[in-house]
Amino acid sequence: MGADLRNADLSGANLTGALFLTQSQLDAARGDASTRVPKALGRPAHWARAERPVRR
């Protein structure tokens, strides 16, 4: 809770079960097309997008 994720590399991470994760934390971090985020949060626009959907 309250973790500083500025510039943290979350590439490939599965965050779907993360508790207390906020949109501002995601927005400050780096991720890629394979990074999975909780349904309640949005994928930051600056993260790389997959050319085809990632299988879940």
Average pLDDT (30-48) is: 94
Residue 47, pLDDT above cutoff 60: yes
Residue 38, pLDDT above cutoff 70: yes
Distance in angstroms between the alpha carbons of the first and the last residue of the chain: 26
- Determine how many CB atoms are found less than 10 A away from the CB of residue 56: 6
The two tokens of residue 50 are 């997959």
CA distance 28 to 48: 14
pTM (global) more than 0.75 = yes
Average pLDDT (21-45) is: 96
